[in-house]
Amino acid sequence: MLRQVAEGVLIHQSELLQNNAVVVQGRAGVLLIDPGIQGSEMACLANDLRELGQPVVAGFSTHPDWDHVLWHAELGEAPRYGTARCAAYMRDLLSNPDWKARVAEGLPPEIAEEIPLDLFGLITGLPAGTAQIPWDGPQVRIIEHQAHAPGHAALLIEERGVLVAGDMLSDVLIPMLDLNDTADPIEDYLAALRLLEGAADDVDVLVPGHGSIGRADQVHARIDQDRAYVHALRDAGVPGDPRVGPSATFGKDWLPGMHERQLQHLARRRERDGAPG
């Protein structure tokens, strides 16, 4: 079911992973951001849009994680955009003959058979440095950074005061760093938070990739919470964060031990490089 969070902006949240698909209404149809995970959910979303008389005219994937690059035939054949780095990552993955097996390894087993992979990852990369999504609707600013995944982007729907944060600023998931082939994942994440902080005063509604919607008075609080977690991770400390440890209420089954794995990875990097992680 679609739920309006701002004028002309609606969301559909998946049941299992609390993924937020975002619908932005334009002149001739909608921009669909990170459309969902299960085939039945995406088919339901397509049906809701048909009932509204709103075809999908463009799509956008905030980053190349499997749960953000899915699509369903009933959503149509609109161009699906991402940053140049996001699209390059997907091209590289799809060039492997065994890509479906690789992707399947990371799917939640309880819904794996319900996740359609036929249109997986077919992303058109926008030229590097593109500042706006090319579509006939409200201006959507691309805030690209190198925090969570290659070519990760947050989107600011400026006329609506809505920040679509991708897999950042969640109230249920800790920051997950891009630890693959990056020189300084800690500083990359902190730099991304500074970029989001620079846009925060223009935000009335925050939509994370997973979790609950935040309002204007929560945007800076979530940035501060993510920054505190990353600082604790950098210092190999114990974060006072409700998203970590026995009190955490989300992600235990499909992301068990994520904090510990990040600590261990960064410790190995420091030992290998003799430098901060």
Q: Is the pLDDT of residue 253 over 80?
A: no
Q: Is the pLDDT of residue 275 over 60?
A: no
Strongest mean pLDDT among 85-94, 228-237, 265-274 = 85-94
Q: Could you tell me the pTM of the whole model?
A: 0.94
**Band of pLDDT at residue 56, cut at 50, 70 and 90:** very high
Q: What is the pLDDT of residues 134-159, one digit of tens each?
A: 999 999 999 999 999 999 999 999 99
Q: What are phi and psi of 140, to 5 degrees?
A: -120, 110
**Band of pLDDT at residue 122, cut at 50, 70 and 90:** very high
pLDDT score recorded for residue 20: 97
